[in-house]
Structure 1
């Protein structure tokens, strides 16, 4: 979702924001098909006037259903619903505990019903109305993880996807960017303009956004029939156009490696997002100061573009499976760096990521698939990002390059525009590779930590006897590569399969003196070496 650069913003700038673990009970009752949001903004107040049509299919018969919507509080901040209609008939509703409960009389499962909700208010969050770094007024959606319901009624959970269209009315000195393609742009009055955007494919609410600001816009070009554009503040036009020019090449790389781009455009947008980057579907929002003119954030741009496939299109079923989004985006960024900058840069990123994982484990011992953490912001940690990426790196080594890419493409093709769990991903990779991956996925995703290795060796003739001991409590199974360096300066790599807490190995070598052994020379294992 977000690039790791934003972590400091999250924990220090917004440490007061907590998100409770989702209760899926009411989500299991309805399936939103489409949102049609009409919204008006102005320059005199922060109040938005809105109407939304929510098209729903019911999964079972029920008398009332709920949508997520933050209610107006005692300070006057929040949304106040004025009326709800079903087919022009007024229906009863109530607002309580940030839920909008709506009467659902005489509904039948699997049939479509549309409810029109008229409401207004000042968004508490989600739609950020403020001034940018140049003092210009801006309106930017910023929904992750479940903040969309601060500004429109919805099922604010990644498991419920829907198409969306926007009718945005704004003073005509602004431009508007949103998900999907621009259907129409209309001058309503001398001072007011309406923008109509619409998506063709379903999205999770976390990446449904609008951006309203003064922009300089450049059409970067078209690749694989996908238009690429840059939207930056007019004051940073030259720098921004230069910074985001690389997006087209990055998009090329991912299309060729993964498959067709899932959306109708790629717009890179300078914004007020609280994150380093937020991967909103088809229009990525980057933090204001990412624009420098020096192309300093190639990895940030690659990370957010990778999310268009993983996170936006193939989406995690629940927050605890966040690594399917963030771990994937992190690793595919590394693979792009391998392509663009070479093997040394790639290995350095892996080594740096490994160090972040080890340091994080010293302060927090939780698994990647973390079902106990109820503050979603705390899931934005090295487990979800760097360790998730390392799982993919080790998986590639385990099943081979060809099977890895075949599995990635198969997984994406099946789950695009759908939701997946870690088990779903495992099943695809196991089927493609023909390998049993149960132990691999269990030890790396569901258990905490990583191997901490202590090794000792003796050498005689052409035999190297090495003892490998795991010092951590849980036993891991993994291949350990050894680079054996001889007295004449030559070397060779041997591999031992470690399966026990303490295990001896005998390795055949050249009949030369062994000068040194390097462990994991090609950076293929997530581990810690005990040097005592």
Structure 2
């Protein structure tokens, strides 16, 4: 998971405020205006921020008033047609240059602009002033400064609202300038308004991005993001995290209307010292009423997140907390937060949807830790949660249930409803399956209207005039699916899938797994708690599954539940360090579900599913662009983009599954399953990086393999895009009583330097098949066979081990 806490562009307008010093400091910050006494007419001023180069050729530069002794903002403005600024950025690697080109059409950003509103907590102001004092053409112009102050200070306030917590944190804690951030809102150029960011607190410190709209949906598209020049060169290290929350104790009261009141307590362990402030994320629909540090009341602000952030995509707000004194690194502070709100909605009679599943409690830097959760809830409802149920009691119409995680976990969740239940035991583990007893409203079939038909027996006379009679055909009430009808069958298959994974991957983090329904079209796998879509409980003949295409129906009936169960290993046992690693967990869970399908129905079922995945990836968006071209799997959440609204799911899950299938083909089954077992054991309750995956896989390659470190494979399939198209031509001749086949394998749709092993199989009448693997060498690669048979035929990749069109 990428580092987001207190990172740039995190906050928006205050959602709720607590009186005290925090409120006063926020008011002071939002009162900062541009300073007319520090306004200059400038020419040829240069500013360098890591990989960004700003050339302020001609225009005006004005600084803001200081905030607690620190400069926090500056504005460059080109006023005339001859004025301009220019921003130059050269991404340091091919993948990020290609990413930039997808949005701008160019691999290098060279943008002329007319405005740059800069906010910062680093030494940007000092660098600008030093440039002015060192001889850059600059003439003070306080009169112009007054005009700019009136016109631009309201804009500045809006931007300050979006950066309030970070600016307050850095200023009030007197954070070192080298740890500060820089952000510029660039306007007036070819590409519209976009952001240029440097933040040493981010996992990848340099970012360029822009807000975009598609079908009334807002996206924040990251054009490129990479490690800063100083980190790449080794001049500085990436900053440690601000801190983590450990040893949670969550006390939850669910009221009859299903709103919740919670006291969440945890140890905040500072990663770096000297700071007075801390921040935690929580669902935006929940309102914080009080905060305590080591039992004493603390000032706080709860602020809504700006739409440009990962926090906003999670619909989170941020709770900004002020400590009475600087925090010591490594010394825990017990944080207690009281809050309330609603995350549960009714989806039907005794059917409930739990929203904000990953952020219903305060979150900081993700990590493995212990959870204790106590729920008081209406006794007529069943409540299940992550961990082991250690205590339960009923008093009146309220049930109290206490859960403990046992092993450290990263995420805790709960679910509730009026469930049918069954369970299975396998190898000392318990698999409990729950089902709603009534289907949610959105899936109930609609009754057809009554129909009036003419009586075809002819007119009847009851008077002087014939009267045509009508026959009323009553409405047909369609069968309503029963989500609990297959519960025993599902328990058998869920337990069987769990056993299949257990044999191959080793022990998961918990001794019990509960599979529970969620009235939605997706699933989710928490430690010991699986949310499975209602559709995965139904039969193929039930509506709406009976109207789906075969691929979608297979997803719900065969893939979704094993995928989420597999997350017990991939995501809950083994985790990831950063957003560029995210694809591994989803790809491993997806491919694990395919392995289970193969186990149940044979290799052809797996290959058929992979063919569907390939077809999805080669589909096109509304602009006619191939979905796979949206970007490599390593982009992670950056694949959520306006032009390709389905790219994130298809590329991370389905192309990712293909990547592991191709690794399996290279390693062979014995080494491939050995790799999965090794990853699960070596990285148990740890974070796995892509490079660690590459090294572990390379160590299991056959001796003499042409890509011994798998560098080409990962560069092409993980960090690159493109699906090769293979075709071939060949000629035959007879020599020494044998048929000689000589031909050319052609490769298109990928760069000329794309190399991959391709299996060719020669079949001929009267002879055994001959198999040969050749490595592509550019657009054309020669091959040669000798065979004793006649009428030779050459098949490309007959076992379908490569994501390719043939």
Q: Is the pair's TM-score, using the shorter chain for normalization, greater than 0.5? A: yes
Aligned counterpart for 2:731 among listed residues 455, 458, 461:
458
CA distance in 1, matches of 2:428, 2:668: 32
Following TM superposition, by how much is the alpha carbon of 1:100 offset from its aligned partner in structure 2, in angstroms?
0.5
Task: Give 3-state SS (helix, strand or coil) of 1:446's partner.
Answer: coil
Query: Would you say 1:413 and 2:681 are equivalent positions?
Result: yes
Query: Would you say 1:165 and 2:363 are equivalent positions?
Result: no
Query: Would you say 1:381 and 2:638 are equivalent positions?
Result: no
Query: Would you say 1:446 and 2:719 are equivalent positions?
Result: yes
Following TM superposition, by how much is the alpha carbon of 1:17 offset from its aligned partner in structure 2, in angstroms?
7.4
Task: Give 3-state SS (helix, strand or coil) of 1:325's partner.
Answer: helix
Show the counterpart of 1:40: 253
- Higher relative CO (CA 8 A, sep ≥ 6), structure 1 or 2? 1
Show the counterpart of 1:486: 764
Task: Give 3-state SS (helix, strand or coil) of 1:85's partner.
Answer: strand
1:267-305 CA distance string (max 9 Å, x none):
111222x34321122121111232225797233221111
Q: CA separation of 1:444/1:248 partners in 2, compared to 1, >3 Å: closer, same or farther?
A: same
Query: Would you say 1:354 and 2:560 are equivalent positions?
Result: no
CA distance in 1, matches of 2:732, 2:775: 19
Show the counterpart of 1:307: 567
Q: CA separation of 1:27/1:85 partners in 2, compared to 1, >3 Å: closer, same or farther?
A: farther
Aligned counterpart for 1:28 among listed residues 229, 241, 246:
241
Query: Would you say 1:240 and 2:487 are equivalent positions?
Result: yes
Task: Give 3-state SS (helix, strand or coil) of 2:484's partner.
Answer: helix
CA distance in 2, matches of 1:192, 1:19: 44
Show the counterpart of 1:476: 754
Query: Would you say 1:201 and 2:403 are equivalent positions?
Result: no
Show the counterpart of 2:319: 100
| Equivalent residues of 1:47, 1:121 under 8 A apart | yes
Aligned counterpart for 1:179 among listed residues 375, 382, 386:
386
Following TM superposition, by how much is the alpha carbon of 1:215 offset from its aligned partner in structure 2, in angstroms?
1.2
Following TM superposition, by how much is the alpha carbon of 1:430 offset from its aligned partner in structure 2, in angstroms?
2.2
1:75-98 CA distance string (max 9 Å, x none):
xxx222121112221122111232
| Equivalent residues of 2:724, 2:750 under 8 A apart | no
Q: CA separation of 1:26/1:270 partners in 2, compared to 1, >3 Å: closer, same or farther?
A: farther
Following TM superposition, by how much is the alpha carbon of 1:445 offset from its aligned partner in structure 2, in angstroms?
0.5
Following TM superposition, by how much is the alpha carbon of 1:510 offset from its aligned partner in structure 2, in angstroms?
0.9
- The residue correspondences of 1:316-331 to structure 2 (distance < 5 A) are 316-331=576-591
Aligned counterpart for 2:603 among listed residues 330, 343, 346:
343
Task: Give 3-state SS (helix, strand or coil) of 1:528's partner.
Answer: coil
Q: CA separation of 1:20/1:170 partners in 2, compared to 1, >3 Å: closer, same or farther?
A: farther
CA distance in 1, matches of 2:372, 2:699: 38
Following TM superposition, by how much is the alpha carbon of 1:439 offset from its aligned partner in structure 2, in angstroms?
1.0
Aligned counterpart for 2:278 among listed residues 45, 60, 65:
65
Question: Normalized against structure 2, the TM-score is what?
Answer: 0.57
Show the counterpart of 1:9: none
Query: Would you say 1:129 and 2:345 are equivalent positions?
Result: yes
Following TM superposition, by how much is the alpha carbon of 1:378 offset from its aligned partner in structure 2, in angstroms?
5.2
Show the counterpart of 1:292: 538
Aligned counterpart for 2:805 among listed residues 520, 524, 528:
528
CA distance in 2, matches of 1:325, 1:50: 31
Task: Give 3-state SS (helix, strand or coil) of 2:415's partner.
Answer: strand
1:82-117 CA distance string (max 9 Å, x none):
211122211221112321011233432122221111
- The residue correspondences of 1:381-400 to structure 2 (distance < 5 A) are 381-400=649-668
CA distance in 2, matches of 1:200, 1:17: 40
CA distance in 1, matches of 2:356, 2:339: 20
Q: CA separation of 1:90/1:58 partners in 2, compared to 1, >3 Å: closer, same or farther?
A: same
1:114-145 CA distance string (max 9 Å, x none):
111111123xxxx342223xx225252553xx
Following TM superposition, by how much is the alpha carbon of 1:229 offset from its aligned partner in structure 2, in angstroms?
0.8
- The residue correspondences of 1:273-288 to structure 2 (distance < 5 A) are 274-288=520-534
1:162-189 CA distance string (max 9 Å, x none):
33221111110011111011111122x3
1:243-270 CA distance string (max 9 Å, x none):
2321111111111111112212111112
Q: Identify unmatched segments of 5+ residues in structure 1.
A: 2-13, 72-77
| Equivalent residues of 1:469, 1:501 under 8 A apart | yes
Q: CA separation of 1:310/1:382 partners in 2, compared to 1, >3 Å: closer, same or farther?
A: same
Q: CA separation of 1:137/1:497 partners in 2, compared to 1, >3 Å: closer, same or farther?
A: closer
Question: Normalized against structure 1, the TM-score is what?
Answer: 0.85
1:35-79 CA distance string (max 9 Å, x none):
2211112223x53211100222111111101001244xxxxxx22
Count of residues in correspondence between the two structures:
491
Q: Identify unmatched segments of 5+ residues in structure 2.
A: 2-214, 228-237, 305-316, 439-482, 541-553
Q: CA separation of 1:19/1:248 partners in 2, compared to 1, >3 Å: closer, same or farther?
A: farther
Show the counterpart of 2:433: 230
Q: CA separation of 1:335/1:181 partners in 2, compared to 1, >3 Å: closer, same or farther?
A: same
CA distance in 1, matches of 2:627, 2:764: 39
Task: Give 3-state SS (helix, strand or coil) of 1:173's partner.
Answer: coil
